[in-house]
Amino acid sequence: MSIHCELLILILTLTLDVQVHTGEIIGGQEAVPHSRPYMVLLERYMQDGKTKHCGGFLLNEDFVMTAAHCQASSYTVLLGVHNFYNSDGIQRISVVQTFPRKDYNETDLSNDIMLLKLSSKAKFSTNVRPIALAGQDDGSLPKSCIISGWGKTNKNIPNMSAVLMEANVTLIDSKQCPNTNVYCSEGETGPGKGDSGGPLVCEDRKVYGVVSSFYLNKYVYAKIPDYRSWIDLIMNQH
């Protein structure tokens, strides 16, 4: 299969149109409401006037992280969401500046990571809290990881989940991954349509990866430990 065909599959698989319907992450279940207060639902306003969605997660009161391929003309970040249809307590904050990795490659989706600076500070509460990032890579492979998002996997119904879903994933040896600077998992369980940009949270409750793509029967996550210096630099300078 050509790279262009693979890329088309990636975009169709991991990004969303605006329709909303009950759905689920592959092999997942509904998360306990607000048990993942760092989760962000990202509304993406496209040049053609459409609204699409990605996932993301809150790093501090000023910054959200997502995938670089979730770029758009403008954004609104939704914080404190569990059920998309219940707007009670949800914070809606526009994005004032975007910081995709300059070496992000649209062809193979390498370095698929982006920081978003909020136009106003997030207000922390029981339902809105940041999450810590994993530190520099020590060579070990994290285990007992969980992904979460509002993505949909039923190809016949291209709608997102109304409620936050989650699923356990097991990472495989990096030698089997399609790119460098990534983790990957395989099997029946993994992120689905619309989960791009969401966090890969492992046993110490820190984020190790950003949901990126599905390639050669593997789920791919940008490897946060390899980008910590860049992440810290952007957040400290802005």
Catalytic one of 110, 185, 196, 212: 196
Contact 80, 37 (CB under 8 A): yes
Query: CB count, 10 Å around CB of 106?
Result: 12
Contact 66, 114 (CB under 8 A): yes
Q: Phi and psi for 233 in degrees, rounded to 5?
A: -60, -50
Catalytic one of 53, 69, 148, 161: 69
**HSE-up of 20 (CA within 13 Å, CB side)?**
13
Q: Please give the helix or strand (H or E) that residue 93 lies within, else none.
A: strand 91-100
Asked if 204 is an active-site residue, the reply is no
Asked if 140 is an active-site residue, the reply is no
Determine the Cα–Cα distance for residues 8 and 4; give it in Å rounded to an integer.
6
Contact 163, 151 (CB under 8 A): no
Spell out the alpha helix ranges (H) of the chain. 3-14, 228-237
Task: State the chain's maximal CA–CA distance in angstroms.
Answer: 47
Catalytic one of 53, 62, 110, 112: 112
Asked if 196 is an active-site residue, the reply is yes
The rounded Cα 108 to chain-centroid distance in angstroms is 17
Contact 36, 166 (CB under 8 A): yes
- Torsion (CA) 87, 89, 90, 94 in degrees, nearest 10: 130
Query: CB count, 10 Å around CB of 80?
Result: 23
Active site residues: 69, 112, 196
